[in-house]
Amino acid sequence: MNRRTFLKAAGGALAFPWIAPSWAVAPSERITLGVIGIGPRCQYDLGCFLEEADLQCLAICDVQASRRELGKKMVDGKHGNTDCTTIRDFRELLARSDIDAVLIATGDHWHALASIMAAKAGKDVYSEKPCGITMADCQALAGTMQRYTRVFQAGTQRRSISNFQIAVQLVRSGKLGKLRKLHASVYDPLVRHEWLPAEPEPPREELDWDMWLGPSPWRPFNRRYFVGRGWQGFDDFTAGANLMDWGAHTVDICQWANAADDTTPIEYEPTHDKIITRYANGVILELNYGRRIPQQGKADLGTCSVRFECDEGWVETGDSGELDAYPASLKREMRNWNKQVGGINPGSHTRNFLDCIKSRAPTAANENIMLHSHLACFAAAIAWQLNRKLIFDPVAEAFVRDDEANRLRSSAMREPWRV
C-alpha cells in the first residue's frame, strides 16, 4: 500500500506519522549509488552517503560474500526496504543503467582500474585513496575522467574539514608572511616482496581470490591478507612504499597551502628520518616519517598532522580538530574558532561530491588535484627506494635524465586486466 492509498483508507486520521525512506525525493533529484568494495573504511563512507536524502544505494559489490551481505543489511536498514542487490563481479554493477555513481573502496591495487572502468561506463566516481598504486595509474585515471567528462572525488576528505581549511586559509591570506616550509606526517617507508604461505582457496562465491588479485601479479591465497589490512606493505598491493597511506592526505593539504594544486615539488632527497622536497618557488616540503611532525605548539594534533612555517609565524593542525599557531595575537583569535569533528569524517566531502554530480562542477578533490598530490608522493617514494636525490619535471611528469627512476613510474597489469 502506498502512502496515498493508506491515507484514503484511514480517512486522514493517522495513529502514527508516516516515515519516508531517506531518499524520498523526486526521482529527478535522486542520485543512485553502487558500492564496489565494502570493508571497514567503505562502511564509514557509505554511512555518510546514506544520511543524504537525495541518495539511494542500489547495489553492493564485493568479492567476499560476508561483506556483501553486511553491506546489504546496512543499506536496507537505512532505506527501509530490501531493494539493494548484492554482486560479486563489479562489471555487472557497471553495466547497470540505473546506477549514476559508484563508491570505490576496494584494496588500493584496484582503485585506479575500477575508477577508469566506471568512468567509461558513464558513472561518476568517488574513490578512496590512494587512487592508484603507480604514477601511470593516476595519470590514466585523471585523463579518463577528463576524456569522459565524469565527476571525480578522491577520498582525501581533509580538504572538506574546517580545521584544515582554516590552517590553509591562514597561510594563503598572508597573515603569517611568506610561506617557507611545509611539514607532512607520513608512515615509515616499507616495501615487502615475499609471499605468505599458500593455503587452500575458498569457494569462489565465498571469496573470489582471482578477482581480489585483479590486475596484480598472481600469488597463492592466504587469509592473513584479509585480516585488518593484512595486504598493506606488500609492493603488489600498496602505493608509494607505504608513504601514500597518510601522504595522500597530508601532502595534499600541503600542496593546497602552497597554491600548488597544478604542480609538484621538483627535488626529492631522502634522509634517515624524512624526505626533503623543494618546489620551484623555493618552498620546502618535508615528509616526516613515524607519523609525526616537528610540532611547535602544545595542542594534541592527532593523526595526519601538518605544519606550515612562514616568515612571521606558523600554524599546525591534525585529525584531533585542534589548531595551534604563533604569534600570540593569532592564538587569541583562534579562541573564536570552534573545534571540529576531525579529519576522518567524510560527511562534507561526500555531500560535495553529490552536489557536483548535479552541477557538473569540479569537486573539492578532483582528478587534477589528486594527480599532482599523488605524483609528489610517488616521486618521494621512488627517491627513498633508490636512496638518492631525484629531479622531477612537473610538466612532463617524469624524472629528469633518469631512466632507472622513470621505469618505477609504472608496472604491468596481469591479464586480462588493462587500462
pLDDT tens by residue, 90-102: 999 999 999 999 9
Strand 323-326 to 313-317 pairing: antiparallel
Report residue 9's pLDDT band, with 50, 70 and 90 as the boundaries: very low
pLDDT value at position 299? Answer: 85
Amino acid in position 217: P
- Distance, in Å, from the CA atom of 247 to the CA atom of 228, rounded to the nearest integer, reads 20
- Note the Cα 310 to chain centre separation in Å: 28
CB-CB neighbours of 190 under 10 Å: 14
398 forms bridges with which residues in the sheet? 393
How far is Cα 157 from Cα 349, in angstroms, rounded to an integer? Answer: 5
Q: Where are the chain's structural domains?
A: 21-157, 162-190+240-344+367-407, 192-231
User: Residues 269, 274, 280, 283: what is their CA dihedral angle, to the nearest 10 degrees?
Assistant: -150
Residue found by looking up cell 615528509 in the block:
287
The burial of 69, by beta-carbon neighbours within 10 Å (0-12 exposed, 13-18 middle, 19 or more buried), is given as middle
Once rounded to an integer, what is the mean pLDDT over residues 366-370? Answer: 98
pLDDT band per the 50, 70, 90 thresholds, residue 359:
very high
Interatomic CA distance for residues 139 and 405, integer angstroms = 17
Compute the distance between CA of residue 262 and CA of residue 107 in angstroms, rounded to an integer: 27
Question: Rounded distance, CA 92 to CA 90, Å?
Answer: 5
Q: Is the pLDDT of residue 129 over 90?
A: yes
pLDDT band at 14 (very low <50, low <70, confident <90, very high): very low
Q: Considering the chain, what percentage of its residues have pLDDT values greater than 90?
A: 84
- Within this chain, domains 21-157 and 162-190+240-344+367-407 share the same CATH topology: no
DSSP string spanning 319-339?
Answer: TT--EEEESHHHHHHHTTSPP
pLDDT at position 3, please?
42
Q: How confident is the model at residue 8 (pLDDT cuts 50, 70, 90)?
A: very low
Q: How confident is the model at residue 331 (pLDDT cuts 50, 70, 90)?
A: confident
Question: How far is Cα of residue 94 from the mean position of the Cα atoms in its chain?
Answer: 20
pTM: 0.92
The DSSP output letter for 39 is S
Summarize pLDDT for 379-411 with one digit per residue, the tens. Answer: 999 999 999 999 999 999 999 999 999 999 999
Is it the case that residue 351 has pLDDT exceeding 50? yes
Chain-centroid distance, C-alpha 39? 14
Give the mean model confidence (pLDDT) for residues 102-106. 97
Measured distance CA(309)–CA(167) in Å, rounded? 11
Which pLDDT belongs to residue 329?
79
Q: How many CB atoms lie within 10 A of CB 386?
A: 16
Mean pLDDT of the chain: 92
pLDDT at 22 > cutoff 70 = no
Residue 290 one-letter amino acid: G
Do strands 267-270 and 274-278 pair parallel, antiparallel, or not at all (unpaired)? antiparallel
DSSP conformational letter for 64: B
Quick one: pLDDT band at residue 15, thresholds 50, 70, 90?
very low
Per DSSP, the three-state class of 181 is strand
Single-letter amino acid code for the residue at 238: T
**Per-residue confidence (pLDDT) for residue 365, from 0 to 100:** 98
Has residue 235 got a pLDDT over 50? Answer: yes
Report the pLDDT averaged over residues 242-247.
93
High-pLDDT (> 70) share of the chain, %: 91
Q: What is the pLDDT of residue 330?
A: 80
3-state secondary structure of 193: coil
Q: Model confidence over 164-196: pLDDT tens digits?
A: 999 999 999 999 999 999 999 999 999 999 999
pLDDT score at 339: 58
The answer to whether the beta carbons of residues 365 and 153 sit under 8 Å apart is yes
- Of 15-29, 98-112, 238-252, 351-365, where does mean pLDDT reach its minimum? 15-29
Residues in the chain: 419
Residue 387, sorted as left (phi over 0), alpha (psi -120 to 50) or beta, turns out to be left
Q: Which helix (H) or strand (E) holds 347?
A: helix 347-359
Topology, domain 21-157: Rossmann fold (3.40.50)
What are the beta bridge partners of residue 358? none
Cβ count within 10 A of residue 378? 29
Match domain 162-190+240-344+367-407 to its CATH number in 3.30.70.2190, 3.30.300.180, 3.30.360.10, 3.40.190.80: 3.30.360.10
Confidence (pLDDT) at 19: 41
pLDDT of amino acid 337: 63
The DSSP symbol for 78 reads H
Residue 305 has pLDDT above 90, yes or no: yes
Over 60: is that where the pLDDT of 146 sits? yes
E strand spans, 259-322? 267-270, 274-278, 284-288, 306-310, 313-317
Q: What is the pLDDT of residue 338?
A: 55
- Is 114's pLDDT higher than 50? yes
